[in-house]
């Protein structure tokens, strides 16, 4: 299956939201969360990528900023959410391509790591490990400890430790935990 991965264009955002909704049916929280992130200060234009096949969006991934509360104050870190692939295009390498590309982009920016809340079985293939093993605490006990993960990037600093903080909106729409 041939597809191209590139930075998402601003005019494609409505199409991305529709894709997220299709990929996460019946869970509408993923699209609500993505829209909130898109409209918030955590949005990073060049870290929102799409996969295009035959001029159609078939995948999307984005990294956004979250605060990490450390003993020395808050530090902005990156969070991967959501990863979306058209249901009929899943298991064809699109998700893998998107995650690998966005992690390379984060590494190029000098980011120390990327966190996510997701399936350990799915994300281990990209190098994600339990965040707690590196002193990075999950934002809520609603998240099973193994599901809160990080991948260390070349600029990883072991002294960077603390608790990731989710904005209140994540809790308001029920987008925390299983």
Tell me if 126 sits within 8 A of 35, measured CB to CB: no
Average pLDDT over residues 57-79: 96
Distance (Å, whole) CA 115 – CA 81: 9
| pLDDT tops 90 at residue 132 | yes
Which domain does 166 fall in, by range? 4-172
Does residue 178 sit within a domain?
Answer: no
Retrieve residue 33's tokens: 């969360």
Does residue 104 sit within a domain?
Answer: yes
Does residue 177 sit within a domain?
Answer: no
- Average pLDDT across the chain, whole number: 93
For residue 134, what pLDDT band results from cuts at 50, 70 and 90?
very high
Q: Strand ranges (DSSP E) for 107-166? A: 113-117, 129-130, 136-137, 148-152, 162-164
Give the CATH number for residue 86. 3.40.630.30
From 22-36, 117-131, 162-176, the region with the lowest mean pLDDT: 22-36
Does residue 100 sit within a domain?
Answer: yes
Does residue 25 sit within a domain?
Answer: yes
Q: What percent of the chain has pLDDT over 70?
A: 98
| pLDDT tops 90 at residue 8 | yes
Average pLDDT over residues 66-70: 96
Report pLDDT digits (tens) over 139-166: 999 999 999 999 999 999 999 999 999 9
pTM above 0.85, yes or no: yes
SS3 content of the chain, % helix, strand, coil (to 5): 35, 35, 30
Q: What percent of the chain has pLDDT over 90?
A: 78
Q: How many folded domains does the chain comprise?
A: 1
Report pLDDT digits (tens) over 79-129: 998 899 999 999 999 999 999 999 999 999 999 999 999 999 999 999 999
Distance (Å, whole) CA 65 – CA 41: 8
Helices H / strands E in the chain, number of each = 5, 9
Does residue 8 sit within a domain?
Answer: yes
pLDDT in the model for residue 39: 84
| pLDDT tops 90 at residue 6 | yes
């Amino acid at each position: 299956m041939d597809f191209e991965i590139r930075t998402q264009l601003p005019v494609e955002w409505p199409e991305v939201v529709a894709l997220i909704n299709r990929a996460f049916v019946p869970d509408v929280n993923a699209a609500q969360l993505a829209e909130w992130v898109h409209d918030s200060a955590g949005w990073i234009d060049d870290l929102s990528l799409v996969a295009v096949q035959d001029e159609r969006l078939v995948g999307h991934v984005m990294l956004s900023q979250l605060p990490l509360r450390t003993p020395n104050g808050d530090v902005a870190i990156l969070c991967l959410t959501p990863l979306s692939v058209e249901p009929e295009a899943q298991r064809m390498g699109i998700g893998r391509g998107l995650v690998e590309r966005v992690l390379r982009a984060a590494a190029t920016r000098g980011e120390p790591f990327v966190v996510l809340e997701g399936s350990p079985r799915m994300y281990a293939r990209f190098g994600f490990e339990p965040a707690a093993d590196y002193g990075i605490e999950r934002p809520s006990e609603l998240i099973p400890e193994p599901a809160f993960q990080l991948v260390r990037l070349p600029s990883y600093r072991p002294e960077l430790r603390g608790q990731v903080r989710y904005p209140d909106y994540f809790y308001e729409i029920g987008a925390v935990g299983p």
